[in-house]
Amino acid sequence: MRLIAKGAEAELYEADWFGLRAVLKIRRPKPYRDPQLDAAIRRRRTVNEVRLMSKAREAGVSTPAVYFFDLEECLIAMEFIEGPTAKALLESGRVDVLNDVGRRVALLHKAGVVHGDLALTNVIYRGGEPYFIDFGLGQVVEGGGRRAALEFGRDVNVLLRILDTYGAAAERYKAAFWEGYREVAGARADEVEAAVRRIRASARYVER
Ligand SMILES: Nc1ncnc2c1ncn2[C@@H]1O[C@H](COP(=O)(O)OP(=O)(O)O)[C@@H](O)[C@H]1O
Ligand SMILES: [Mg+2]
């Protein structure tokens, strides 16, 4: 097994899964957390990730196939997606990936799926198709109400804040995202945009 990433949350390995090229995502115990609480958190994130990958797929958004998961070890074996991230593509001039991402995020939200960490590194392209990964902090929200719009706004705002770091290109990038989002979400996009504005206004208030 080859270590490919070690985040705050999990270790990721490339592995051979009975002949299939796989990624093993393992959430190891955190020694500084109460053991019972720690086990509960790791288990919840693991089951959450598997459940949301499957929901996303039902909604028409590509995710790695899950080969196996174990809630005792808090591990997921999934399909290895070989390809560039949305970040790499964007930085090589492919602004259109943000259109794609916007459409896919709107599909997730239509199905009530909040991704939870919409970073450009959590989208991997293979054969022109964006695959979404890293759903461990996501959730499912019910209905089309104001509370749901707020959750979708929070979700989108994670990505918008990343796009804000691109200086002079930021506004164009954000517009490309919203264009894709609106294409799928229709008038619901207005409510999510309004939620984003509220979130941003109160964040600025807190910063002062
Ligand atoms: N299915 C996969 N195929 C290929 N690479 C993956 C896959 N899953 C994760 N990775 C790689 O591992 C990194 C970390 O995985 P991720 O699920 O995002 O965990 P973290 O919570 O630590 O961000 C990703 O940014 C990506 O480079
Ligand atoms: Mg990640």
Same domain, 121 and 194: yes
Question: Model-level pTM?
Answer: 0.96
Q: What is the dihedral of CA 98, 101, 107, 109, to 10 degrees?
A: -90
Same domain, 67 and 134: no
Closest residue CA from atom 16 of ligand 1: 134
CA of 122 to the centre of ligand 2 (A): 5
Closest residue CA from atom 14 of ligand 1: 5
pLDDT tens profile 151-207: 999 999 999 999 999 999 999 999 999 999 999 999 999 999 999 999 999 987 666
CA of 199 to the centre of ligand 1 (A): 28
Same domain, 163 and 198: yes
Same domain, 172 and 132: yes
* Domain range for 38: 2-79
- Cα torsion 180, 182, 183, 185: sign: positive
Asked if residues 16 and 22 have their Cβ atoms less than 8 Å apart, the reply is: yes
pLDDT at 205: 63
Beta bridge partners of residue 70, listed in sequence order = 75
- Ligand 1, closest atom to CA 136? 21
Residues ≥6 apart with Cβ < 8 Å to 203: none
Query: In the structure encoding, which two tokens stand for residue 54, read together?
Result: 């499957």
Ligand 1 proximal residues by C-beta, below 6 Å: 4-5, 7, 9-10, 12, 23, 25, 64, 78-81, 121-122, 124, 133-134
pLDDT at 57: 98
Same domain, 131 and 93: yes
Ligand nearest to the CA of residue 118, numbered in listed order: 2
pLDDT at 143: 74
Same domain, 198 and 101: yes
Question: How many Å apart are CA 27 and CA 13, to the nearest integer?
Answer: 12
pLDDT tens profile 105-151: 999 999 999 999 999 999 999 999 999 999 999 999 987 899 999 99
CATH number at residue 32: 3.30.200.20
pLDDT at 172: 98
Active site residue 16: no
Instruction: Phi first, then psi: give them for residue 141, nearest 5 degrees.
Output: -115, 145
Asked if residues 160 and 177 have their Cβ atoms less than 8 Å apart, the reply is: yes
Given 38, 70, 117, 134, the catalytic residue: 117
User: In the listed set 79, 108, 136, which residue is the last one of a domain according to the structure?
Assistant: 79
Same domain, 25 and 94: no
pLDDT tens profile 56-74: 999 999 999 999 999 999 9
Residues lining ion ligand 2 (Cβ < 5 A) are 122, 134
